[in-house]
Structures are given as C-alpha cells and as structure tokens.
C-alpha cells in the first residue's frame, strides 16, 4: 500500500506554522478550520493535504482581518482615550464614551500581546540551536569543537512506534533531547547567556541587586540546574530591566517562562515562616481535594484534618501540617548554620546578628530580616532535639548541658554534686562509665539512661548531635515528627499505643491495591457516607437502608449485614491468604566459609534488668568446625545496633590477640554491616564506635564484613 510518495510532497509548499494558542480563543478561527475540512476525495492522504492547504488559506485571511491593522487600531484607540481624558467636558455621555474607549484599548493591547507572543514562538523554532552556537563561540570554544556539537544536535532523528511497529523518521530543528548526555551541559551554556544579560543590566545600573549588608556585594541572580532565582529592588527600573532580559533571552534561546511553577510552597517554607492564615488556606485546599468537590462546593469532610495529618502507624493518612512542616524545614537551615558556620551564609549572618556569641545563643536582633526570623523559629525546634555526643566529655557540664538521652529533656532529673562538674569526671581510664560515681551523683532513672549511652574506645571530640536519627544528623522528617508530637502533647492529643501502631504498620504493609487500603481506612474510621452518618449530620432524616429497607444502614450493615451484601460475598468465592500477606522470615542460619578461609561470627544479647550485654563470637573454618569460641559481658543498656557494633569491636580485638587470619566477619545486624561496607559521614557516638571497628579491621590484609 502506498502511504505517501516524495513527488506529491514536492508539489506542495510547506505551510507556515500556526500555533493553536494563536486562535483557540476566537470562535471565528475555529469555525474557519471546521469549514475547511473536505472529504471530497477518496484518497485519505489527499484529503489530509487538501485540508491543510484550505486551513492555511482560511487562517491567513482570518489573521489579516483580525491583526492586519492591529498597530493602526491601537494608535487610534490610544489617541481617542487621550483626547477624552484631556477634554473639559465631563458630562455623563463623555464619561461613558471614555470608559468604552478604554475597554476597547485594553482588548486591543491584550490581542497585540498574544499576537507577538505567538509570533516569537514561531521565530524561536529555528533560533535555539544558533543561540547555543553563538554562546559557545563567545565563551571561546574552538570552531572544530562547536561543529562537532552542532553535528550531534542536527543529525539526531526520531522514529515512531505505531501498533508495535517502528516506522518513520523525523529530524528535529530545535530543542535538546531529554536523556541525551550532552543536554545538561548545553543547558548550562544557555543559562550562561541569561547570566551575562543580567550582569550587563546590573553593570549599566538599571538592575539593582540585593545586598545582605551595606558593604556586601549585590546579588542579582542565582542559577541552579533549571531553577533561576532573581533578586532586585522593588522599583520600576529593576523590574523593567528583568522584563527586558527575559524577553531577549526568550527570543534568542526559545525557553519560555513557566508561570505555573513560579512559586513553589516547599521552597518558600524552607526560607521563610509562612503566616498562619496561608498555611490554613493550603491545608483547606488539600482537605477539599482529598474529600472531593462538586459543582455546589466541597463535599463532606468526614474526619478532622488533624487525624489525616497523623502518621500512618498512628492511624492517620500521613498528610503534613503546614505549620509543623514549615518549622521543620527552617530547622534544617538552622542545622546547616550550626554545622557550617564558616560558610558564606554563616559568615554574613554572624556579622549581622551574633558577632560576639555563638549561633545557639544568638538574639533575635533589632529589625531582623524575614530570613533570620524564620531561622530563629526553626532553631527553637532544633534545640528541643539537640544533645551532646560524649567524646572526651571535657566540654560538657553535667548539670546544665543536654547530654542524657530521654524522651523530653536531656538534662539530669536529679544531680547531687558541684555545679561545675564535667562529664569527663564520670568516665574511667578504660573508657567505661564509673558506675559507683553515677549511683552517688544521680537518681536510679538517670543512671539507667546514662548506661544506655555508648562510649567509643578511642577518644573523640565532643559534638552536638540530633537525638532523633541514628546518624546524629538532622533530617526534615525527624524534625517534623518531633514538631507534631510536641503539638499533640500541648493539645492533649494522645498517640496510638504500641499494639495499635504495630497493627497499623501491618495493615499498610498488606499487598493490596492502594485504593482498597484507603477504602478500608475509611471503613475503620467511620468515614463513609452511609445513611446513619448522613442522619447524624442532619442532611437527611430517614436512616433506613435504601436497598433492603429492613433496618438502619450503618457501615457494618452496608458491607456485611444487608441481604444483598451477603449475596455478593456468597457468590464472589474469594480466598483471603492472610498468611502470605503477613509472612514472617525464619531465623538466621550460619553458613561455613568457602575454600580455606576463616570466618568470624559475632552476636550480642541484652539483659535489661541487670544492664548487662552478653557478647559472643566464634571462628570457624570451611568445614564449619569451630576453632575458637568467645563469650564476654560488658556493662550497658544500648540500642541493638550499638550492641552489635560493640560486640564487633570486642570480637575483633580478641581475634587479633589470638593472631587468627580471618577473612570474613559476619553479623546479623544489617545496619552495622552496611555502614562498615559502604561507609558513612554521620557524626553520632555509634558511628565513632564503627570508626574504632574500622581501625581494627585494618589489621587484616583481606577482610570482608557482611550480614548473615
């Protein structure tokens, strides 16, 4: 079958490209397109080509009729408006005519703007590649290199997959192909053109950038990947300069400004504290979207927004409260300042707000910027989760500084010694806690908490860490959970019990479609529009089941009790495989090493009543025979991964004393094995122990740590 022959294409001129946005708002243009549709020929290809020619001719006439005298009509309308404004006659007729003339002028200007926007899009279709070429030439690239790059762009072709068959070939004339390795670098070259245009306007004095302080260098723009942030004074000169730059850049590069993405709430919330009413409006929009809406407005919100914002293991849907999320994002900015005070931002803020003290004790300041106000607000949350990691203990005051891990506070509940005592006084030369001294100075509750704190075997410096992550580094997720728990406590909202949390965790882990689980969640929370719920909300008055008309329609009746629901269950013949959904893994098995290698298996167990940890290790050969066993007790009450890391250290130290050339170290702690294998930049005391373990592993020529 002949689809399309080249001679037929050569006989017809290629019509000028006309964008749909150019005429979609004018019904006359759409009518012209419909009228140009022709089915007179029996050949479908001829029909398509005839329609294209007829559409091009019709739209050209429509274009001349609407935009042919655009410039002259705009001038005439402006002249008429000026004459009416300058006349001394202020009668009602004159004022009505002035209002009508201004309306006509506004319409003409809007049409002119649309016209030039669409015209510029047509021009950009052939100018983007030339823009890249000229920018590379201005940047000093060699001509041979530029030709190679342009060859890569111009020789690219596309094919089409139609009904499983690849056919056709299309050669693009503009644009950068997504996924091409060259695209990110060529995009940066395009961005360099935008940066130079902004710099030119700034050097000419038309664009005035933002200065953090009086003597600081002005900042007019920040570019990161495909995100561009522009800064300027709120005056006419700067705004016109930015508009001019964007217009030139758009015409030259073909890149359009996306107005729909010009404001991203997450980015704004990570920089500023949003007003409460803005967060409430955003939450209202999210709730309306979740529960749905119709032509009469939003539908019924069956449950409170507070419940939806609870985590899934607490019975909620995991939505975020904007106020707590806003504070958690700003706490991240405070954490970055605490970590990297020597950065450019840290130096600028220190010189402005806390030149004579540290960041954690910096005052609010006089006339603070919105950025600093947001950081100070985020610091309030950060301080509620910061405590000292014990290294040498020389910088930490026992009575005043936060260092004892607990749920609410990190200071001792009861301390009976001198106020200037340092934590280093509580650590022996063997790097263990001085238990008799702890029992003398602290309450039994504090002693138990202190014994859960691990001490590294080699001395490290004291440092502030975040309590609610194992790495010791602040994360927005952990900060948000802390902020919500504090808000729940202040509002006397109790969270789910351990048994409820485990049940919800099991529920959300079921291998079911998400919409089924959401429906089940609504059933559990009585959030379905059954008749009894509608009566309770005074929407209807009769609570009788509309189907069987025999009793009240509750959720239980609608799903299981109604005779029609029972008939559905009887005929569906469903098999619920709960055992597969809640499958449990069997215990771990020890496997012998291969070849002639020696393997070290390590494990730890806790006696919580006596605060004693049992460490066990065994070295085996390739036959599975135990060559050397070891068992040891150490004082403490640590988390499981910390116990396993300590067991690893004691076991490796024991193997080094026996001079056994092990090649494999195996542990059932996946977190420990992965961290040792892939490394980590975390700063917690647990990771200090892993550094000690890494030092011992270096004594073996070839050793591998893996989970069993």
DSSP characters over 174-211? SS--TT-TTHHHHHHHHHHHHHHHHHHHHHTTSS--B-
- H or E stretch covering 523: helix 514-524
State the Cα–Cα distance between residues 165 and 564, nearest whole angstrom. Answer: 49
More confident residue, 384 or 212: 384
Q: Is the model more confident about 499 or about 188?
A: 188
Query: What pTM was computed for the model?
Result: 0.54
Q: Residue range 429-456: average pLDDT?
A: 87
How much is the pLDDT for 34? 63
Least confident of 131-135, 152-156, 162-166: 162-166
Write out the DSSP string of 6-18.
HHHHHTSPPPPP-
> Which one is predicted more confidently, 639 or 198?
198
pLDDT band for 573, please (50, 70, 90 cuts): low
Domains of the chain, residue spans: 58-118, 177-261, 268-292+318-382, 386-467, 500-584, 598-707
Contact 650, 623 (CB under 8 A): no
Is 174's pLDDT higher than 60? yes
Q: What is the band of 443 on the pLDDT scale with cuts at 50, 70, 90?
A: confident
Q: What is the structure's pLDDT at 595?
A: 59
pLDDT at 94 over 70: yes
Query: 225-229, 413-417, 539-543, 554-558 — which is least confidently predicted?
Result: 225-229
How confident is the model at residue 118, as a pLDDT? Answer: 53
So what's the pLDDT on residue 384? 92
For residue 7, name the pLDDT band (cuts at 50, 70, 90).
very low
Q: What is the mean pLDDT of residues 338-355?
A: 89
Q: In degrees, to the nearest 5, what angle opens at C-alpha 683 toward C-alphas 473 and 321?
A: 10
pLDDT in tens, 521-540: 888 888 888 888 888 877 88
Give the pLDDT score at 20: 45
Confidence of residue 52 (pLDDT cuts 50, 70, 90): low
For 404-535, list the strands marked E by DSSP. 463-466
- Are 161 and 155 in contact by the 8 Å Cβ rule? The answer is no
Q: What's the confidence (pLDDT) of residue 381?
A: 94
Residue 491, pLDDT score: 66
577, pLDDT greater than 60:
no
24 or 192, which is more confident? 192
pLDDT above 90 covers a percentage of the chain that reads 7
Query: Taking 70 as the threshold, does the pLDDT of residue 225 lie above it?
Result: no
Record the tokens describing residue 331, joined without a space: 């706490």
| Residue percentage of the chain with pLDDT more than 70 | 77
Q: Which band of pLDDT confidence, cut at 50, 70 and 90, is reported for residue 122? A: very low
**Is it the case that residue 175 has pLDDT exceeding 90?**
no
Q: What mean pLDDT do residues 631-658 have? A: 85
Task: Over range 688-695, report the average pLDDT.
Answer: 83
Confidence of residue 1 (pLDDT cuts 50, 70, 90): very low
Residue bearing the bigger pLDDT, 455 or 160: 455
Q: Is the pLDDT of residue 125 over 90?
A: no
Of 207 and 562, more confident? 207
Q: Is the pLDDT score of 30 beyond 90?
A: no
Check residues 707 and 686 and name the one with the higher pLDDT.
686
Are β-strands 386-389 and 297-298 bridged in parallel, bridged antiparallel, or unpaired? unpaired
Tell me the C-alpha distance between 211 and 232, whole Å: 9
Domain 598-707 CATH superfamily: Ribonuclease H-like superfamily/Ribonuclease H (3.30.420.10)
Check residues 184 and 325 and name the one with the higher pLDDT: 325
Cα dihedral sign for 224, 226, 227, 228? positive
Q: What pLDDT digit, counting tens, does each position of 400-420 carry?
A: 889 988 767 788 888 888 888
pLDDT number for residue 4: 34
Say which residue, 482 or 129, is predicted with more confidence. Answer: 482
Task: Kindly indicate the confidence band of residue 226, based on its pLDDT and cuts at 50, 70 and 90.
Answer: low
Gap between the Cα atoms of 399 and 635, Å rounded: 24
What local confidence, expressed as pLDDT, does residue 177 receive? 61
Dihedral angle over CA of 500, 501, 502, 507, nearest 10: 90
Query: Taking all residues of the chain, what is their mean pLDDT, rounded to a whole number?
Result: 77
First to last CA, the chain: 64
What integer pLDDT is reported at residue 563 of this predicted model?
81
Tell me, what's the pLDDT at 576?
40
DSSP state of 88: S
Q: Residue 377's pLDDT band (boundaries 50, 70, 90)?
A: very high
Total Cβ atoms within 10 A of residue 295:
4
Find the mean pLDDT for residues 332-358: 90
Q: Which of 152-166, 189-203, 523-537 has the lowest mean pLDDT?
A: 152-166
Neighbours of 691 (CB within 10 A): 13
Best CA proximity match to 372, nearest among 278, 272, 276: 272
Per-residue pLDDT tens for 257-276? 665 455 557 778 888 898 88
Return the structure tokens found at 341.
Answer: 């005070």
In whole angstroms, give the CA distance from residue 473 to residue 266: 21
- Give the torsion sign (CA, 169, 171, 172, 177): positive
Local confidence band at 673 (pLDDT 50, 70, 90 cut-offs): confident
Q: What is the pLDDT averaged over residues 328-344?
A: 92
| pLDDT at position 10 | 35
pLDDT of residue 25: 53
The reported pLDDT for the residue numbered 581 is: 29
Evaluate if residue 292 carries a pLDDT over 80.
Answer: no
């Amino acid at each position: 079958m002949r689809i399309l022959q080249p001679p037929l294409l050569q006989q017809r001129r290629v019509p000028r490209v006309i964008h749909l946005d150019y005429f979609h708002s004018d019904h006359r243009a759409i009518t012209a397109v419909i009228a140009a549709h022709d089915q007179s020929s029996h050949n479908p290809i001829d029909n398509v080509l005839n329609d294209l020619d007829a559409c091009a001719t019709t739209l050209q006439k429509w274009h001349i009729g609407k935009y042919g005298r655009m410039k002259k009509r705009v001038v005439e309308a402006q002249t008429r408006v000026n004459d009416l404004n300058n006349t001394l006659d202020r009668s009602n007729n004159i004022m009505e005519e002035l209002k009508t003339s201004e309306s006509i002028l506004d319409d003409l200007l809007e049409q002119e703007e649309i016209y030039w926007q669409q015209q510029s899009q047509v021009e950009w279709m052939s100018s983007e590649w030339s823009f890249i070429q000229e920018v590379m030439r201005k940047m000093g690239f060699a001509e041979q290199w530029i030709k190679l790059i342009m060859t890569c762009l111009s020789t690219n072709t596309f094919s089409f997959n139609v009904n499983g068959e690849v056919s056709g070939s299309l050669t693009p004339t503009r644009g950068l192909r997504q996924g091409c390795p060259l695209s990110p670098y060529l995009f940066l070259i395009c961005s360099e053109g935008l940066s130079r245009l902004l710099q030119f306007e700034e050097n000419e004095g038309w664009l005035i950038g933002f200065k953090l302080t009086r003597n600081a260098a002005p900042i007019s723009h920040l570019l990161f990947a495909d995100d561009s942030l522009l800064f300027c004074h709120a005056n006419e000169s700067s705004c016109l300069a930015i508009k001019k730059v964007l217009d030139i850049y758009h015409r030259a590069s073909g890149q359009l400004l996306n107005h729909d993405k010009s404001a991203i709430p997450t980015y704004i919330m990570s920089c500023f504290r949003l007003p409460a009413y803005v967060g409430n409006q955003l939450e209202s929009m999210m709730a309306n979207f979740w529960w749905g809406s119709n032509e009469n407005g939003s539908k019924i919100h069956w449950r409170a927004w507070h419940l939806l914002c609870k985590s899934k293991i607490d019975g909620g849907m995991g939505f975020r409260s904007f106020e707590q999320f806003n504070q958690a994002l700003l706490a991240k900015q405070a954490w970055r300042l605490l970590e990297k005070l020597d950065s450019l931002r840290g130096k600028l803020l220190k010189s402005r707000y806390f030149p004579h003290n540290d960041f954690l004790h910096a005052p609010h300041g006089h006339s603070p910027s919105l950025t600093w106000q947001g950081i100070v607000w985020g610091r309030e949350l950060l301080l509620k989760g910061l405590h000292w990691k014990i290294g040498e203990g020389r910088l930490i005051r026992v009575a005043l500084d936060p260092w004892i891990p607990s749920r609410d506070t990190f200071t001792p509940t009861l301390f009976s010694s001198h106020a200037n005592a340092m934590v280093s006084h509580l650590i022996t030369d063997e790097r263990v806690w001085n238990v008799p001294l702890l029992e003398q100075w602290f309450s039994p509750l504090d002693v138990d908490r202190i014994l859960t704190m691990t001490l590294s075997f080699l001395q490290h410096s004291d440092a502030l860490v975040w309590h609610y992550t194992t790495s010791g580094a602040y994360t927005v997720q952990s900060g948000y959970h802390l902020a919500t728990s504090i808000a729940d406590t202040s509002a006397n909202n109790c969270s789910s019990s351990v048994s409820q949390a485990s049940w919800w965790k099991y529920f959300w882990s079921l291998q079911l479609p998400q919409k089924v689980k959401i429906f089940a969640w609504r059933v559990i929370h009585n959030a379905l529009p059954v008749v009894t719920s509608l009566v309770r909300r005074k929407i209807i008055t009769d609570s009788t089941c509309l189907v069987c008309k025999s009793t009240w329609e509750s959720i239980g009746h609608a799903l299981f009790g109604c005779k029609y629901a029972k008939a559905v269950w009887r005929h569906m013949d469903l098999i619920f495989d709960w055992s597969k959904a809640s499958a449990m893994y069997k215990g771990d098995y020890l496997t012998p090493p291969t070849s002639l290698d020696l393997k070290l298996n390590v494990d730890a167990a806790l006696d919580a009543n006596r605060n004693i940890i049992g460490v066990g290790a065994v070295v085996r050969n390739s036959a599975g025979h135990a060559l050397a066993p070891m068992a040891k007790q150490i004082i403490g009450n640590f988390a499981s991964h910390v116990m396993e890391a300590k067991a690893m250290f004691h076991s490796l130290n024991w193997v080094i004393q026996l001079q056994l050339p092990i090649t494999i170290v195996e542990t059932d702690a996946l977190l420990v094995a992965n961290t040792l294998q892939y490394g980590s930049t975390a700063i917690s005391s647990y990771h200090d122990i892993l550094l000690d373990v890494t030092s011992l592993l270096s004594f073996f020529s070839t050793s591998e740590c893996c989970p069993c």
